[in-house]
Chains A and B, each alone.
Chain A
Amino acid sequence: MAVSWRMPEYKINRDKDRCIDCQVCVNQCANDVHTWDEDLNRVVSDESLCVNCHRCIVYCPTRALNIEKWPTAFKDNANWDSGAIKQLYAQAESGGILLTGMGNDRPYPVYWDNLLLNASQVTNPSIDPLREPIEIKTFLGRKPARFDPSSDEFPPQMELDIPVLFSAMSFGSVSLNVHKSLARAASELNVFWNTGEGGLHRDLFEYAANTVVQVASGRFGVDAEMLARAAAVEIKIGQGAKPGIGGHLPGEKVGNEVSRTRMIPPGTDAISPAPHHDIYSIEDLRQLIFSLKEATEYSKPVMVKVAAVHNIAAIASGIARAGADVIAIDGFRGGSGATPLRIRDNVGIPIEFALAAVDTRLREEKIRNQVSLVAAGSIRNSADVVKAIALGADAVYIGTAALLALGCHLCQKCYTGKCNWGIATQNPRLVSRLNPEIGSRHLVNLLRAWEHEIKEMLGGMGINALESLRGNRLMLRGIGLNEKELQIMGIKAAGE
């Protein structure tokens, strides 16, 4: 067999002096990097298998381990960087598409970091959240253009105490304990979690009031019961990490519970086609939206999730007119359990632009106030949330941020099913590593912290109700942006 040209990605440094050979690392590494050597009578490590997930480092009781990049360098080459070379070697060996996990990690600009927030000085008072109420309650759903005092009909709304929802992540791509953590946290925080395309496990029926169920191109797990056990239904058209691409859950991840929940035979691959085969145009979407509204007797908002692509403004406007109550837009940094590397890294546009363009377009169309907008695709902190809302979002989806709160270390190996943190896996030994008690606690902590920060920022701007920030682009200034970028986002430059 020909020798492989691929070098290990990482180098594991075991401090011999600190290591007490307790074998905790051996027990924790699902990639079999660390093993107990009978002959040497100590723990040894095989770096070539390491994915740098940090499980062993975090668990090592004597801090004897650390991991660094494999030190061997290629000849400097601004064009052929080491990543490009290694990927080429890999494909030369495998002849296959390169897979990866989580969101786009290329050094594209992160526009959130080019936006600055405003604060009150002298001419009007900033508000101290510790003394004055600051309201961030948000309602998602269709709104009538004007209030009709004579009618008591009102479209169904999703009520959120914090303008954040947990993004769709399917049972199958993530473990049931992830769903349990998300669902518990969502109901404690009164926000929403999203089942993703894997259906809704029966253990989670009790969280219906905070559950968004997803209908995607594979239609896995969709039935009357599932629709009944939800507060809202989301039609997934696309995903920021792989616009225009379907999904594929390998058979080995389809155990009994997954099979039962997805309603497919155990061990069979679950394939979600790229398009919905009953949606080839906008009017088809309208039909699906309304068949779902019929099925739920118009008692639940219908969301439509699309990836941020070049023509997103027109697409979103069409979706609104097709009858969607909430439009979710997933930027090109959105995460995924498995996506072709080239697609992830090269398709789609930043959520910051997509959001601004859609908000502006819907206002030009005079319908912005009638639909809700949810921004997704790498919201990293409370400032991103505030900036997204000032640009025009009603709320945001967080996926990667939520997973980080559950222990994800962004090693991007979700697709291997060997997630050492018990997140992207169905292996019972690994799944047990995520205790929903802890998971939900961490999620609740995270959003409570963000809640405090959001209120601080609002108060600083002299705003005590979130709706007064929505689309309030005067509260934003651009830094390091060119005229065109400022224009697209509809904001002034810092200093203007």
Chain B
Amino acid sequence: MKRVYNLSEYCVGCGLCEVHCATIHSEYPDNIWKAYRLADKRPMSRLFVERNATSSLSVQCRQCDEPACVYACITGAITKKSETGLVSIDEDKCVGCSTCLIACPYGLIKIDPYQKVSLKCDMCKDIAQTPVCVTRCPNEALVCREEEI
């Protein structure tokens, strides 16, 4: 299946992926400024940017073939679609128990402090052709491609 990969040697740690991810998942998907300034809550990205002295990394859900989060979910809100391979959270069903946060071996699920539901990368499904973090990465450090592991 298609996954987002990080060429960390070219990640500049700018965090634009976070900004665009947060925006496109906000009430104002096409306007960064409105997303951050008009929305009553600060928009949340669904990915993680890590930085240290020598490098940085932008990571999002790996869409595992053996998804620990799906197995751990107590409500059945997290499912892996057999057709697309996409692991997605039904935010309507999620009760924010955080069990998936512990389950995810990469620690790539976060809790929306406002909605109290789990947030994870949805590959911009139904929003964009290619995940926005990939298209907006200023240094092409994120790529979206089929890759057999």
Direct chain A–B contact by Cβ atoms under 8 Å:
yes
| Contacting pair A20 B33 (CB below 8 A) | yes
- Mask for B29-67, Cβ within 8 A of A = 1, else 0? 000110011000000000000010111100000000000
| Contacting pair A27 B14 (CB below 8 A) | yes
Kindly state the separation between the CA atoms of A62 and B20 in the bound complex, as whole angstroms. Answer: 11
Kindly state the separation between the CA atoms of A27 and B56 in the bound complex, as whole angstroms. Answer: 11
Residues of A within 8 A of B33 (CB): 18, 20, 62
In the assembled complex, the CB of A318 is this many whole angstroms from the nearest CB of chain B, namely 47
Residues of B within 8 A of A24 (CB): 14-16, 19
- Mask for A425-450, Cβ within 8 A of B = 1, else 0? 00011001101011000000000000
**Is A80 interfacial (CB 8 A cutoff)?**
no
Kindly state the separation between the CA atoms of A308 and B104 in the bound complex, as whole angstroms. Answer: 64
| Contacting pair A20 B36 (CB below 8 A) | yes
- Mask for B2-22, Cβ within 8 A of A = 1, else 0? 000001011111111011100
**Is B96 interfacial (CB 8 A cutoff)?**
no
Residues of A within 8 A of B37 (CB): 20
| Contacting pair B13 A429 (CB below 8 A) | yes
**Is B90 interfacial (CB 8 A cutoff)?**
no
Kindly state the separation between the CA atoms of A20 and B39 in the bound complex, as whole angstroms. Answer: 12
In the assembled complex, the CB of A93 is this many whole angstroms from the nearest CB of chain B, namely 31
| Contacting pair B15 A23 (CB below 8 A) | yes
| Contacting pair B138 A59 (CB below 8 A) | yes
Which residues of chain A from 253 to 284 have any CB-CB distance to chain B below 8 Å in the complex?
none
Kindly state the separation between the CA atoms of A22 and B14 in the bound complex, as whole angstroms. Answer: 10
**Is A480 interfacial (CB 8 A cutoff)?**
no
Residue in chain B with minimal CB distance to A428: B54
| Contacting pair A429 B10 (CB below 8 A) | no
**Is A61 interfacial (CB 8 A cutoff)?**
yes
| Contacting pair B20 A61 (CB below 8 A) | yes
Residues of B within 8 A of A437 (CB): 10, 140
Residues of A within 8 A of B115 (CB): none
Residues of A within 8 A of B15 (CB): 22-24, 27
Residues of B within 8 A of A167 (CB): none
| Contacting pair A433 B32 (CB below 8 A) | no
Residue in chain A with minimal CB distance to B43: A20
Kindly state the separation between the CA atoms of A438 and B140 in the bound complex, as whole angstroms. Answer: 8
Kindly state the separation between the CA atoms of A182 and B141 in the bound complex, as whole angstroms. Answer: 19
**Is A336 interfacial (CB 8 A cutoff)?**
no
Q: Which one of B19, B36, B56 contacts A429 once the chains associate, using CB atoms below 8 Å?
A: B56
Q: Which one of B16, B53, B139 contacts A435 once the chains associate, using CB atoms below 8 Å?
A: B139
**Chain A contact residues: over half helix, strand or loop, or mixed?**
loop
**Is A28 interfacial (CB 8 A cutoff)?**
yes
Kindly state the separation between the CA atoms of A438 and B141 in the bound complex, as whole angstroms. Answer: 10
Residues of B within 8 A of A20 (CB): 19, 32-33, 36-37
| Contacting pair A429 B54 (CB below 8 A) | yes
Residues of A within 8 A of B140 (CB): 435, 437-438
With A20-B32, A20-B33, A435-B141 known as contacts, the answer to whether A27 contacts B20 (CB < 8 A) is no
Q: Which one of B9, B19, B20, B32 contacts A432 once the chains associate, using CB atoms below 8 Å?
A: B9
| Contacting pair B12 A28 (CB below 8 A) | yes
With A20-B37, A27-B51 known as contacts, the answer to whether A61 contacts B16 (CB < 8 A) is yes
| Contacting pair A59 B55 (CB below 8 A) | no
| Contacting pair B36 A22 (CB below 8 A) | yes
Kindly state the separation between the CA atoms of A350 and B51 in the bound complex, as whole angstroms. Answer: 46
| Contacting pair A433 B139 (CB below 8 A) | yes
| Contacting pair A429 B53 (CB below 8 A) | yes
- Mask for A17-51, Cβ within 8 A of B = 1, else 0? 01011111001100000000000000000000000
Residues of B within 8 A of A433 (CB): 10, 12, 139
Kindly state the separation between the CA atoms of A433 and B37 in the bound complex, as whole angstroms. Answer: 29
Residues of A within 8 A of B55 (CB): 428-429, 432
Cross-chain pairs A/B with CB under 8 angstroms, 20 sampled:
A20-B32, A20-B33, A21-B36, A22-B15, A24-B14, A24-B16, A27-B13, A27-B14, A28-B12, A59-B14, A59-B16, A62-B32, A428-B54, A429-B13, A429-B54, A429-B56, A432-B9, A435-B7, A435-B140, A437-B10
Q: List the 5 closest A-B pairs by CB distance, nearest first.
A: A20-B36, A435-B10, A433-B12, A428-B54, A22-B19
Chain B residues with CB under 8 Å of chain A are 7, 9-16, 18-20, 32-33, 36-37, 51, 53-56, 138-141
Chain A residues with CB under 8 Å of chain B are 18, 20-24, 27-28, 59, 61-62, 422, 428-429, 432-433, 435, 437-438
Given contacts A61-B32, A432-B139, 15 further A-B contacts (CB under 8 A): A18-B33, A20-B32, A20-B33, A22-B15, A24-B19, A28-B12, A61-B16, A432-B10, A432-B11, A432-B12, A433-B12, A433-B139, A437-B140, A438-B139, A438-B140
